[in-house]
Amino acid sequence: MVNSILWTILLSLTPIGELRVSIPFGIASGLHPLLVFIIAVIANWCVAPILFLFLEIIHYRILHVRHYRTMFDHIMARARRKSSRVVEKYGVIGLALLVAVPLPVTGVYTATLLAWFFGMNKLKALGAIALGASIAGVIMMFVSIGGLKLIGFV
């Protein structure tokens, strides 16, 4: 059980998987769905303040490293291309909507990068991101439970 909880937390922290992977994994591992929801969503919330801290302190200090800059420029270009219209148009509400839709490139990492890029108020952005992650968690709970029941896994 402890191993499944730890993996659920770690998967919630990954940039690709986030809640789309951690919630189905936790439920399929036999953890109670409410426990999975709580630990996955809280772990996912933790990404935004850590990423903001990284961007404010460490990012500028290592921006001169060519490989880092190339990778960061690629990630930012993809985030802006895929999601910036919603955030530009709707502000923090757009940020919450972006995170609430549990699709690739619409999670906490992308929203935090966009909030930082557009210079949004960090507290408002963190609130919107947390709200969006909570909504995405609810959606993933229903999808995961339904999908796992459909294939006879739970």
Block mean pLDDT (10 aa), the chain, length 154? 95 94 95 97 97 91 90 86 81 93 89 91 97 97 88 73
Residues 6+ apart with CB under 8 A from 82: 105, 106, 110
> What integer pLDDT is reported at residue 81 of this predicted model?
79
Interatomic CA distance for residues 150 and 134, integer angstroms: 24
> What integer pLDDT is reported at residue 95 of this predicted model?
93
> What integer pLDDT is reported at residue 117 of this predicted model?
87
Nearest to 39 by CA among 55, 63, 23: 23
Task: Give me the torsion for CA of 49, 55, 56, 58, rounded to 10°.
Answer: 110
Contact 34, 138 (CB under 8 A): no
H or E element in which residue 154 lies: none
Query: What type of residue sits at position 112?
Result: T
> What integer pLDDT is reported at residue 5 of this predicted model?
97
> What integer pLDDT is reported at residue 87 of this predicted model?
84
DSSP of 44-61:
HHHHHHHHHHIIIIIHHH
